[in-house]
Every structure is written in structure tokens, then in C-alpha cells.
Amino acid sequence: MENFSHTLDAHHRILIVDDDPVNLRFLERLLGHAGYEDIVGAGSGAEALQEAEAIHPDLIILDLQMPGIDGYGVLATLRSSVSSGVYVPILVYTADVTFEARKKALELGASDFLTKPGDAQEILLRVKNFLVVRNLHLALASRNDDLEIKVRERTHELEASQVEIIERLAQAGERRDDDTGEHTRRVGELAGAVAEAMGQPFQFVHLLRLTARLHDLGKIGVPDSILLKPGRLTPDEFKEMQLHSTSGARILSGGLTPLLRMAERIAQSHHERYDGTGYPHGLTGEQIPIEARIVAVADVFDALTHSRPYKAAWEVNDAVAEIQTQSGRHFDPKVVKAFLTVVA
């Protein structure tokens, strides 16, 4: 047995299942002399299932003919109950050499067969080869775990980069008429809360909180004389102000990610009105993307409740009343209903 003392890992857990104590002791001694240290014997199918669950073996040597739960029953159960998710070889050790026995055992997940009483050298070679395969599967699983961790880390880094870029773009769009840059953040948070109250999926809510911050990105192209004008805009000035919707959408157009596509829709349509009197395209009802309908409410509420160069801040109750008044006209009634639960 000395030739097998250099086994890859003496601490591999090997479960031997046989109702015959002679066979059980033979295999235990054989493997022990070969240098394997972690060997567990089970004298019945029921005991084998308990041990397999407890020790998570690296290899199972299994007899077929046993009273109670036989080897076939153990095979059927083990393949579903071994919970590591990594390949566990099952070496059938049986006196039944019929084709039917082999076929049934293989169908139930057996890896290979040894015929009793068997040659000691062959048994040890089979054991060693199966443990090599087991090691490869474990190494692959470990590598996959490492890759998954790296993918999660990279995904987190990309998401953080996206958030930072959005914040900077949003600030660029709002800097001149909102020195704090807080308007876009508040609109994003309120829009996300309203979407959540409407029962929108988590991913939609998450994206909306980010993309809503870019709703006024097109203001980058609006002249200060219009954007910061303290008085009422002339018709021509208002037409130029309206261009910020299409300008923002154009800046964001052609995006390949859900985030950029949603941001484009919001920039384009957040000034559309439910009754069709908005701009730039006069869309009505559900022609307006749902994300834009939500941002429209959040944007107007925040604009009303905070001072601008051309107006003083409204009281919150007055702003809420105005939103309610505009339900079905400026705003989607479903969005208003959810908004009221958020601000109540």
C-alpha cells in the first residue's frame, strides 16, 4: 500500500456504505493504510443519508444490496440532498454485476462500478482518480466564486461611477438657477418615493431615483437672460425655454443602457401634460412615459415649494392643493394619488 501514501489530500472525507461489516472493515483498513484519514462508515442506507448530510463527503463508496433503504434509494436521495453544489463522485461497490443493476445505478447518478471483492490496487486507483476529479470541481467552484466576487465588485464600481456622472450632469443643468444643486436630488428622491407608492418594481424605482435628476439637463443651453429672468417670460422667451426638453433628450439620446434610455424619456417628456396641453409634442395620458408622468409631479411640487428668481416659495399645503387641482389635467390621477400618500 506504500505506493498510495502520497494521496493528493489525506483529509478528503470518504463515506463507505455497506451493511456487511466485513466489507466495511476491509475498505476502511485499505483506505487507512493508503493514507486517507477521514473515513466514515455507514451500515445502512438510512445511516448513509444521515452521514452524507452531516459530513458532506468528497467521495461515497456505496453497496447496492442492503435491507431497508437500499443503494438505489440512497443514490436517488443523495443526488438531491448533497447540498454543496459541487460534483460528488459515487463509486458503487457491489456483487451484482448484471446489466440491469449497472443501468439503474447509472441512471440514478452513480459515477462508476467496482465488483466485490475487487482488487485492492484497482480500488485505490479508482478512489484516487475520483478524488482528483473532485479536487478539480472544487477548484473550479472556488474560481467561479472568486470571479463572482470580482464581478460584483466591478458592478458596484460601475454603478458608483454612473451615480457620480449623473450627479455632475445634474448639477451642470441646475447650477445657474439652483446654486445648491439640491433641486435635482429632491426631485429624484420624491419621484422614487412616488413610484414605490405606485407599486413599481424595485429596479424601476432605483433607476428613476437616478435618472429623474437629469430631467432639466437641457437647461445648459438656455441663456441666463431667460433662465434667471425675475419677471414673466415673453412668448418668444418661453418658446426658447421649452427647447430645454428636446435639448436634454438630444444630449442623452443613443444610450445603450436602461439608465440612459429612461433619462432620455424623462428629459423629453417631463413637461408633457396629461390632458395634451404640454410640450414638446402635446402627448396625452399614457402616451407620456410613466417615468415622465411621475417626474412631472415631483418637479412641479419641488419648484412650487422652493424659491426661484421669478417667484417666492409656496407653503407646502398650498402646493399639495395645487397638485390635487391639476389631477387629470396637468398630472396623471394615479400618480397624484400615490404622491398624496407620500406627502401626507
What is the pLDDT averaged over residues 316-322? 96
If asked whether residues 142 and 206 sit together in one domain, one would say no
Does 310 map to a domain? yes
* 3-class SS string, 288-329: CCHHHHHHHHHHHHHHHCCCECCECCCCHHHHHHHHHHCECC
Query: Is the domain of 183 the same as that of 328?
Result: yes
Does one domain contain both 103 and 179? Answer: no
179 and 220 part of one domain:
yes
Residue 225: what pLDDT?
A: 80
pLDDT at res. 10: 58
**What is the largest distance, in Å, between two alpha-carbon atoms of the chain?**
102
Of 157-166, 226-235, 288-297, 334-343, minimum mean pLDDT range: 157-166
In a domain, 29, yes or no: yes
How does pLDDT run across 155-210, given as a tens digit for each residue?
777 777 777 777 777 766 666 555 546 888 899 999 999 999 999 999 999 999 99
N- to C-terminal Cα distance for the chain?
80
Residue 116 falls within a domain, yes or no? yes
**Are 235 and 91 members of one domain?**
no
Is 154 part of any domain?
Answer: no
Phi (first) and psi of residue 120, to 5 degrees = -60, -45
Task: Name the percent of the chain lying above pLDDT 90.
Answer: 37
What is the number of structural domains in the chain?
2
In the chain, % of residues over pLDDT 70 = 91
Within this chain, do residues 105 and 188 fall inside the same structural domain, yes or no? no
Which pLDDT belongs to residue 212? Answer: 94
- CATH code (residue 19): 3.40.50.2300
pLDDT at residue number 83: 47
Residue 295 has pLDDT above 60, yes or no: yes
The residue among 130, 146, 162 that closes a domain is 146
More confident call, 68 vs 139 = 68
83 and 194 in a single domain? The answer is no
User: Is 158 within the bounds of a domain?
Assistant: no
Same structural domain for residues 183 and 141? no
One domain, residues 132 and 209: no
Residue 319, pLDDT score:
96
User: Is 165 domain-assigned?
Assistant: no
Check whether residue 233 and residue 296 sit in a common domain. Answer: yes
209 burial (CB, 10 Å; 0-12 / 13-18 / 19+) is buried
Which of these three, 125, 146, 167, is where a domain ends?
Answer: 146
Q: Predicted confidence band at 336 (pLDDT cuts at 50, 70, 90)?
A: very high
128 plus 199 within the same structural domain: no
Q: Which domain holds residue 86?
A: 2-146
Whether residue 284 is predicted with pLDDT greater than 50 in this model: the reply is: yes
Give the pLDDT confidence score for residue 5 in this predicted structure. Answer: 39
* 265: confidence class by pLDDT, cuts 50, 70, 90: very high
Q: Is the pLDDT of residue 3 over 50?
A: no
Write down the pLDDT at residue 7: 41
Are 195 and 337 part of one and the same domain?
yes
| Mean of pLDDT values over 20-30 | 91
Model pLDDT, residue 273: 97
Phi, psi dihedrals of residue 70, rounded to the nearest 5° = -85, -175
Q: Which among 71-80, 93-102, 251-260, 266-275 has the top mean pLDDT?
A: 266-275
Does pLDDT of 285 surpass 90? Answer: yes
* Domain assignment of residue 170, yes or no: no
Q: Which residue has the higher pLDDT, 344 or 180?
A: 344
Residue 131 lies in a domain: yes
Q: What is the pTM of this model?
A: 0.57
| 3-class state of residue 112 by DSSP | strand
Is 138 or 267 the better-scoring residue by pLDDT? 267
Whether 116 shows a pLDDT value over 90: the answer reads no
Higher pLDDT: 163 or 24? It is: 24
